[in-house]
Amino acid sequence: MTDIIEIDHLTYRPPSLPPDAPDILHDISLTIDEGAFVAIIGENGSGKTSLIKQINGLILPTEGHVNVSGLDTRDAADRSRLHGLVGMVFQDPVDQIVASTVEEDVAFGLENANLPYREIQARVREQLEAAELTDEAHRPPHLLSGGQIQRLALAGVLARQPKVILFDEPTSMLDPRSRSEFLQRIIALNQQGITILYVTHHMEETVHADQIVVLQGGQIALQGSPPEIYCHNDKLHEIGVEKPEAVDLADHMRQLGWEIPPRTLTSNQLLQALPIYEGDKIGHEHIKPEAKSHLDIQIEDVHYAYLAGTLLEKQALRGASVNIPEGQIHGFAGTNGSGKSTLLQHINGILRPSHGYIKVADLRLEDQTTPLREIIKKVGLVFQNPETQFFEVFVGDEIAYGPKQFQMKDIRERVRQAMMLVGLDFETYKDRRLETLSGGEKRKVALASTLVLEQDILLFDEPTAGMDPNARAALLKLFQKLNKQGKTVVIASHRLEELALVSHQLSIMAKGKVEMSDSSPLVLSDMVAINNSGLQAPLAVRVGLKLIEQGWPFCAADIITKDQLLQSIRGVIS
């Protein structure tokens, strides 16, 4: 096959980088075949985003060369031609939405390329149909759901008919159904001959790639096909990269003596390989944990609409009701647009309901006279997009901003402690400019900026989006640590496998209402409720239920995590 991308001894070091900091990218050489699907993985800060931005000339090499289809990114004339050849979908697609309506946004790049009007109209119509956005053509983009915005960003790229498309964690903010649909669209584009470079922290998505490039500290640590990469157990652990869930679970099952095919990469392949139980059945009953009586958060029949009373009114909450006990970890799950983020913003008083009752601790939040400052003293919120809550230029100043507003003492030490909690070294990061951070690092800053205020109730909106596996695991442990200190923790997330690890109670949201709320084991083992909500149960739950179908004497509510599944299997076969 013909090479379409050639990277020769690429080193990148931005001028804003401190002198003692290592290069963002260092001496990378890589060739990519035309029509290939290449997944790029690695820890936060390993250089993934910087690498793909080199390919479309958004940033330029400090040393070395990047050539795409014969065009040198360091040549200004070549770069202008490169923009029509290489498209990019950003981690947060809102960053590339520039027009006031959906239709105008798809046409924007074509108009800049001075294409004939009829050609522009034809391409826009074609891409809106492909993205299922024809009915939204005249709506403002900010009123779209997360999945729709992602499809809009891709439609704008595809309208220019690129040969190469770069994706920077495009599914990190999407629910499982939207993520699967978007990934299938990417696979279809690749099958049509478009070269795909795909940055992701969702390891299960990488199994569809022809090749995986693993970055560590700005250098290539591993490169090969998915089976070749995921056989490097020790090396992957050292790099800080996890295997896809199905691959990892298959490995553990082989260690237990089960015959699982060697190239089992996907959840469907694993489910098909599970054995039928042939022993004596010994069942047991699941004991439901007792609920705590004292409620920290009470929400009853809450309604809210964005742009209420206008032609663009959008109903976000339609009678949401839920009770959250004091000192628990409570999860909210639901598809994009289900109302999770809106509900969290009601709990910390940013939004006030048009109808309904909200009591948080001893404060009535539906009462417009309840001061927001008093609410913020008790309730902290980390937004889905961390950049939206930044006020300062440097990391240390940003984390110190809140304590300064509340005139807290010992601010420097508070900042140091908060940074340590989220895994940011104080001396390394305190003077870093926020724009030099990776997406995962920015999220850690946002977390630290909330934790430094030491509020009793902490709300997190998609907190692990954009984080590498080690950072996600560390954050989940932090939630448990905060909870043991007496904090009430509320997490909105698409990742049910993470909520299974930490939450005591779980609420499923759909169309602005809480459809189900109970202990996490009982909710997660209810496949009907989960499927109806458009979510996907954790792989451990699906495997456990499949084994129960095949005669294994398990209780579904006792298997919501990988460790519980393996423990249940050992208990039967030992």
Q: Is 389 exposed, middle or buried (0-12, 13-18, 19+ CB in 10 A)?
A: middle
| pLDDT of res. 159 | 93
| pLDDT of res. 134 | 93
Which 3 state secondary structure label does DSSP give 25? Answer: strand
Using one digit for the tens of pLDDT, what is the confidence trace for 340-368? 999 999 999 999 999 999 999 889 999 98
Using one digit for the tens of pLDDT, what is the confidence trace for 429-468? 999 999 888 777 888 899 999 999 989 999 999 888 878 8
Tell me the whole-structure pTM to 2 decimals. 0.85
| pLDDT of res. 39 | 97
Residue stretches of the chain with pLDDT short of 70: 1, 281-293
DSSP per-residue letters across 27-38: EEEEEEETT-EE
Stretch (H or E) spanning 146: helix 146-158
Check: CB of residue 492 under 8 Å from CB of residue 335.
no
Domains delineated in the chain: 3-241 (3.40.50.300), 296-503 (3.40.50.300)
Q: At what angle do helices 439-451 and 469-484 cross, to 10 degrees?
A: 10
List Cβ neighbours of 304 (8 Å cut-off, separation of 6 or more). Answer: 315, 316, 317, 342, 346, 351, 353, 354
Name the residue among 123, 130, 30, 32 with its Cα closest to residue 84.
123
Tell whether the torsion through CA atoms of 290, 293, 297 and 298 is positive or negative.
Answer: positive
* Strands 25-33 and 3-12, sheet pairing: antiparallel
Query: What share of the chain has pLDDT > 70, as a percent?
Result: 97
Angle ∠(200,203,208) on CA atoms, nearest 5: 90
Check: CB of residue 475 under 8 Å from CB of residue 422.
yes
Q: What's phi and psi for 136, nearest 5 deg?
A: -100, 10
Q: How far is CA 399 from CA 36, 448, 465, 467, in A?
A: 42, 6, 20, 19
H/E/C letters for each residue in 182-235?
Answer: HHHHHHHHHHCCCEEEEECCCHHHHCCCCEEEEEECCEEEEEECHHHHCCCHHH
| pLDDT of res. 436 | 84
Stretch (H or E) spanning 126: helix 117-130
| pLDDT of res. 284 | 54
| pLDDT of res. 158 | 94
| pLDDT of res. 440 | 77
**Length of the chain, please?**
574
Query: What share of the chain has pLDDT > 90, as a percent?
Result: 69
Angle ∠(345,351,356) on CA atoms, nearest 5: 100
The residues with which 516 forms a beta bridge, in sequence order, are: 508
Extract the tokens encoding 281: 């059945």
| pLDDT of res. 500 | 96
Extract the tokens encoding 564: 């519980």
Q: What's phi and psi for 339, nearest 5 deg?
A: 110, 5
